[in-house]
Amino acid sequence: MTGDSKPLFTKVALLGIGLIGSSMAHAMRRAGLAAHIAGYARTKETLERAARIGFANSLHDDVAACVRDADLVVLASPVGSFATLAKAIAPYLARGSILSDVGSVKTAVVRDVGPHVPEGVHFIPAHPIAGTEESGPDAGFAELFDGRWCILTPPPGTDAAAIEKLRTYWRRMGSEVDVMDPKHHDIVLAITSHVPHLIAYNIVGTADDLETVTKSEVIKYSAGGFRDFTRIAASDPTMWRDVFLNNREAVLEVLGRFGEDLSLLQRAIRWGDGDALFNLFTRTRAIRRSIIDAGQDSATPNFGRNRPKPD
Amino acid sequence: MTGDSKPLFTKVALLGIGLIGSSMAHAMRRAGLAAHIAGYARTKETLERAARIGFANSLHDDVAACVRDADLVVLASPVGSFATLAKAIAPYLARGSILSDVGSVKTAVVRDVGPHVPEGVHFIPAHPIAGTEESGPDAGFAELFDGRWCILTPPPGTDAAAIEKLRTYWRRMGSEVDVMDPKHHDIVLAITSHVPHLIAYNIVGTADDLETVTKSEVIKYSAGGFRDFTRIAASDPTMWRDVFLNNREAVLEVLGRFGEDLSLLQRAIRWGDGDALFNLFTRTRAIRRSIIDAGQDSATPNFGRNRPKPD
């Protein structure tokens, strides 16, 4: 462990500086966690935007230069790019360094990155459960991880001191930290994140396709509930495509359960079974209360979102 | 039309003083729309809470006393109670008065209330598309309708001056006003409100039932997206039971479309069709943008909800 005045890491390399990568840079600066923050992006446009914001000490269009001498390297691009990235950086990873990521799936990350990790590098996959519907380097902010959970899925036999160091790192960026098995992570996230996103994308798509209701009507009357789903359905398309392609089994399993339950509700509506509806609607209220009590959502009605003024 | 200094209505009777009824009382007071606001509730507890808040000029446990001499009577209880209420108040409705409601379905309201409306009373069903996940007289506030839409569904042949008066009433409570056919209203609301609520209730129920994921995990990691759905799934169970029992056809129709679309997505995931996923996820982003541009949601990421502090 480092002393109070010395940063936890000498050089942190962020491979990807979108919403999550740039938020990590801001959070690291807030907590003084890295002597040097290096950022890599594929496109010149992203690098220029990041340079204007100034959250990194160095910016690179070359992964080798970005990761060289880093004691923490974080893959922070869509998970579909991890295999290629891991292969490209492998020769340049420093012995004793930590290689981590922030991908929303974990079994696939172990599968895609694991084989490329050199001897002597500590590979500890991670997933901060935080985000907004925005993307890109401008979307990041230091508080994104405050009070949220970060899940680590270290392979069996991973060096305990390295795990502890990464845990300290996330804690000091504001997160609470849990450790679990990648397969369990993937089913937990299928229900708490992936399937909710899928059905949000789906209902917004359905609304867009209906012939009997115009797009203008959908927009005007969206405050009836629909608008809530459009926030999630505005999330980054590439990131989410990769999530579904890489958590297929768990997503399909949870989706199967969702469909069974929906069929029961559909039947209750068709046959006028008010008690079945009432009982479910009562049970779900308690879960909202628990989430607010756990500090994972705002207690203010309507998420406390701005009350618009009349024209 | 009234002059500037005279209230629009002499006496407005609110049959039901929960979230919507009490918000209307606050909004009427803000705009000076009624010389007298009378409130009716079934339970002593609700009446006592309303008395403490003080948004009504008189409170009643008797519908006849509440509606007597009112020039506007509004049914503001769950729609399943409308037939009984309408029958009970019919003998006491004043000639020339307006009878309206705030129910989330409209065909069923015309079916249940219409037959009881006495000659000379203007029956104009209405639906303000506004709300929060809270219920009861304490949940109301004057700004609830600001910038939201209120839909009127007057039967053919309704007095034009009465429609205009009700339109003015809602405008002065902060709403914009549209007029449409009740059947069309019900299909529009099925997609913008009812089915979104149903799938939110359903996913929260599914999460609650999974054996492989604990309730504590669902709560801790809910910031991955799930928490958004719990807000809607915390809405009033009685109100929503009645909505689904009374908009069966339109809800089942939209639910059918939702299910077809979800099957396609499921298939795209199973077969690894990344393009199909990416194309949908890109299309849905545009709808979010339109809703924000129309002033129907906050432009701030994460609905601008409070960023929680670390423990």
Encode pLDDT of A136-189 as tens digits.
999 999 999 999 999 999 999 999 999 999 999 999 999 999 999 999 999 999
Residues in chain A: 311
pLDDT at B216: 95
Inside any domain, residue A211: yes
Q: Which of A180, A199, A219 is the last residue of a domain?
A: A180
**Are B283 and B170 in a shared domain?**
no
Q: Between chains, do B212 and A187 touch, taking CB under 8 Å as contact?
A: yes
**Are B167 and B66 in a shared domain?**
yes
* Per-residue pLDDT reduced to its tens digit, B24-38: 999 999 999 999 999
Inside any domain, residue B109: yes
**Are B113 and B48 in a shared domain?**
yes
| Distance between B94 CA and the closest CA of chain A, angstroms | 32
Distance of CA B145 to the CA centre of its chain: 10
Q: Between chains, do A225 and B196 touch, taking CB under 8 Å as contact?
A: yes
CB contacts of A284 in chain B (<8 Å) are 201, 204-205, 208, 230, 233-234
Other beta carbons within 10 angstroms of residue A275's beta carbon come to 9
**Are A253 and A214 in a shared domain?**
yes
Q: Which residue, A65, A63, A114, A118, is CA-closest to A94?
A: A118
Q: Between chains, do B269 and A252 touch, taking CB under 8 Å as contact?
A: yes
For B240, the closest of A144, A281, A300 (CB atoms) is A281
At residue B99's C-alpha, the angle toward residues B241 and B184, to 5°, is 55
Mean residue pLDDT across chain A: 95
Q: Between chains, do B225 and A197 touch, taking CB under 8 Å as contact?
A: yes
Phi/psi of residue A231, each to 5°? Answer: -65, -55
Q: Which of A158, A180, A202 is the last residue of a domain?
A: A180
* Per-residue pLDDT reduced to its tens digit, A7-36: 999 999 999 999 999 999 999 999 999 999
Q: Between chains, do A257 and B291 touch, taking CB under 8 Å as contact?
A: no
* Per-residue pLDDT reduced to its tens digit, B127-153: 999 999 999 999 999 999 999 999 999
Q: Between chains, do A248 and B241 touch, taking CB under 8 Å as contact?
A: no
Q: Between chains, do A305 and B301 touch, taking CB under 8 Å as contact?
A: no
Q: Which of B180, B208, B228 is the last residue of a domain?
A: B180
Is residue A304 very low, low, confident or very high in pLDDT (cuts 50, 70, 90)? confident
The enclosing domain of B202 has a CATH number of 1.10.3660.10
Sign of the four-CA dihedral A311, B3, B7, B11? negative
Mean residue pLDDT across chain B: 95
Mean pLDDT of B237-247: 97
| Distance between A143 CA and the closest CA of chain B, angstroms | 7
| Distance between B77 CA and the closest CA of chain A, angstroms | 16
SS3 A33: coil
For A202, the closest of B184, B212, B261 (CB atoms) is B261
pLDDT at A307: 55
Inside any domain, residue B210: yes
Q: Between chains, do B265 and A178 touch, taking CB under 8 Å as contact?
A: no
Mean pLDDT of A58-87: 98
Region of residue B304 (phi > 0: left; psi between -120 and 50: alpha; otherwise: beta):
left
Other beta carbons within 10 angstroms of residue A279's beta carbon come to 15
| Distance between B189 CA and the closest CA of chain A, angstroms | 7
Is residue A306 very low, low, confident or very high in pLDDT (cuts 50, 70, 90)? low
CB contacts of B234 in chain A (<8 Å) are 284-285, 288-289
Q: Between chains, do B206 and A310 touch, taking CB under 8 Å as contact?
A: no
Inside any domain, residue A311: no
**Are A169 and A264 in a shared domain?**
no
**Are B128 and B226 in a shared domain?**
no
Inside any domain, residue B2: no
List of E strands, B126-210: 126-128, 149-152, 176-179
| Distance between B143 CA and the closest CA of chain A, angstroms | 7
Name the helix (H) or strand (E) containing A174.
Answer: none
Q: Between chains, do A284 and B199 touch, taking CB under 8 Å as contact?
A: no
CB contacts of B277 in chain A (<8 Å) are 237, 240-241, 244-245
**Are A158 and A188 in a shared domain?**
no
How many Å apart are CA A269 and CA B242, to the nearest integer?
10
**Are A227 and A296 in a shared domain?**
yes
Mean pLDDT of A288-306: 89
CB contacts of B181 in chain A (<8 Å) are none
Inside any domain, residue A210: yes
Mean pLDDT of B225-234: 95
Is residue B309 very low, low, confident or very high in pLDDT (cuts 50, 70, 90)? very low
Percent of chain B past pLDDT 90, that is, above it, reads 94
How many Å apart are CA B204 and CA A286, to the nearest integer?
10
- B6 residue type, one letter: K
Name the helix (H) or strand (E) containing A132.
Answer: none
For A261, the closest of B202, B287, B301 (CB atoms) is B202
Percent of chain A past pLDDT 90, that is, above it, reads 94
Domain range spanning residue B209?
184-304
Phi/psi of residue B73, each to 5°? Answer: -120, 130
Mean pLDDT of B192-210: 96
Inside any domain, residue A116: yes
Mean pLDDT of A278-303: 93
Is residue B213 very low, low, confident or very high in pLDDT (cuts 50, 70, 90)? very high
Do B74 and B60 meet the contact criterion of CB atoms below 8 Å apart? Answer: no
Q: Between chains, do A203 and B202 touch, taking CB under 8 Å as contact?
A: no
Inside any domain, residue B311: no
Over 70: is that where the pLDDT of A1 sits? Answer: no
For A301, the closest of B132, B194, B228 (CB atoms) is B132
Over 50: is that where the pLDDT of A308 sits? Answer: no
CB contacts of A229 in chain B (<8 Å) are 196, 228
**Are A173 and A41 in a shared domain?**
yes
The number of domains in chain B is: 2
**Are B167 and B221 in a shared domain?**
no
**Are A169 and A208 in a shared domain?**
no
ipTM over 0.90 threshold: yes
Instruction: Say what the pTM is.
Output: 0.94
The two structure tokens encoding residue A96: 């004793």
Is residue B189 very low, low, confident or very high in pLDDT (cuts 50, 70, 90)? very high
| Distance between A287 CA and the closest CA of chain B, angstroms | 7
* Per-residue pLDDT reduced to its tens digit, B245-296: 999 999 999 999 999 999 999 999 999 999 999 999 999 999 999 999 999 9
Question: Which site among A212, A246, A252 would you substitute to test the B interface, given the most B Cβ atoms closer than 10 Å to its Cβ?
Answer: A212
Q: Between chains, do B191 and A198 touch, taking CB under 8 Å as contact?
A: no
| Distance between A74 CA and the closest CA of chain B, angstroms | 20
The enclosing domain of B100 has a CATH number of 3.40.50.720
Q: Between chains, do A287 and B230 touch, taking CB under 8 Å as contact?
A: yes
CB contacts of B252 in chain A (<8 Å) are 266, 269-270
Over 80: is that where the pLDDT of A115 sits? Answer: yes
| Distance between B34 CA and the closest CA of chain A, angstroms | 20
For A269, the closest of B174, B200, B248 (CB atoms) is B248
Question: Which site among B134, B229, B264 would you substitute to test the A interface, given the most A Cβ atoms closer than 10 Å to its Cβ?
Answer: B229
pLDDT at B306: 54
| Distance between A195 CA and the closest CA of chain B, angstroms | 9
**Are A116 and A13 in a shared domain?**
yes
